[in-house]
Amino acid sequence: DALEIGAGTGYFSLNMLGSGMIATATATDISSGMLGALRGRAERLSLEVSTTRADAEALPFPDESFDLVFGHAVLHHIPDLDRAFGEFRRVLRPGGSLAFCGEPSRYGDRIAAGPKRAAISLAPLWRRALGARARRSHATAGGWGDLDEWAVDVHAFRPGELRRSLADAGFDSPRIRGEELLSNLHGWLVRTLESTAEPAEIPDRWRMFAFRSYLALQRVDSRLLEPHLPPELFYNLVLSARRA
């Protein structure tokens, strides 16, 4: 039995179900709309998933209900993370696992500001080269349109602090590693550039170039950088632990 925290529209849990990595899933989110979209996707994919509108800091499940609690890019949105970790441990069975990925590191978050700023400066030239018009809803302060990134991103993490928080919550063997350094910088550059242009006018050849470049840099990261560099340097942190 697996529980996803902050499931959104189900990208993570539905892919895990479809690949056979998990047999059953309960998806939670604070947004009823997101969960409705998740159920629609699950139905189209012929996958069975239970959904519950829930706050990560107060999960509506009995003690020891799940073997796995997992999520993607959600912990940095939770205001009281210590309370949430306590809830995750409570609903896990003894020997159960905790796994979260895609969490921003504090230093990596600062590094990511570089390609974002560079993209905003380069955007007019990039659009002219591709023949794409500026997106009407684009806000020049970071390429996020009407979305204020800081309104939803509560935390950026230090790996040592995450380890201590997990240990304090009663988890055994907390492990933190970093992933995607060069590929993440590339991703921020590309996403910020693309956010400034009308989506329908971005050529497929650019999208394919950006995708293939990302995959190439991801291979460099996984083979050369991730095994040797400290997790603090990476934008994305992956954490895992077990309940004794």
Which domains can be identified in the chain, with CATH numbers?
55-243 (3.40.50)
* pLDDT (tens digit per residue) in 107-138: 988 888 899 999 999 999 999 999 999 998 65
What the block records as the tokens of 181 is 């350094």
Give the model's confidence band at 142: pLDDT under 50 very low, under 70 low, under 90 confident, else very high: very low
Residue 137 is predicted with a pLDDT of 66
Lowest mean pLDDT among 66-75, 102-111, 164-173, 234-243: 102-111
The arithmetic mean of pLDDT across residues 63-87, rounded, is: 97
**Between these two residues, 137 and 66, which has the higher pLDDT value?**
66
Looking at residue 136, its pLDDT comes to 80
Burial class of 20 by CB neighbour count within 10 A (0 to 12, 13 to 18, 19+): exposed
The whole model's pTM is what? 0.86
CA nearest neighbour of 73 among 237, 218, 225, 216: 237
Instruction: Give me the pLDDT at residue 149, please.
Output: 52
Percent of the chain at pLDDT above 90? 88
Amino acid in position 124? P
What value does the mean pLDDT take over residues 29-41? 97
Q: Which stretches of the chain are DSSP H helices?
A: 11-19, 32-44, 81-91, 106-130, 149-152, 159-168, 182-195, 204-220
Answer yes or no: are the C-beta atoms of 149 and 217 closer than 8 Å: no
Does residue 96 have a pLDDT over 80? yes
Q: What is the pLDDT of residue 208?
A: 98
Taking only the tens place, the pLDDT of each residue in 145-166 is 434 454 556 789 999 999 999 9
Q: Average pLDDT over the chain, rounded to whole?
A: 93
Average pLDDT over residues 225-239: 95
> Sorting pLDDT into bands at 50, 70 and 90, what band is 28?
very high
Residue type, 55: D
Q: What does the pLDDT read at residue 145?
A: 45
**Candidate from 24-38, 99-113, 186-200, 207-221 with smallest mean pLDDT:** 99-113
- List, for residues 174-195, the tens digit of each pLDDT value: 999 999 999 999 999 999 999 9
Q: Name residues whose C-beta falls within 8 Å of residue 88's C-beta, 6 or more positions apart in sequence.
A: 5, 56, 59, 69, 98, 169
pLDDT of 74 reads: 96
Distance CA 138, CA 225 (A): 34
Whole-angstrom Cα distance, residue 112 to residue 207?
Answer: 21
Residue 2 has pLDDT above 80, yes or no: yes
Query: Is residue 90 pLDDT above 70, yes or no?
Result: yes
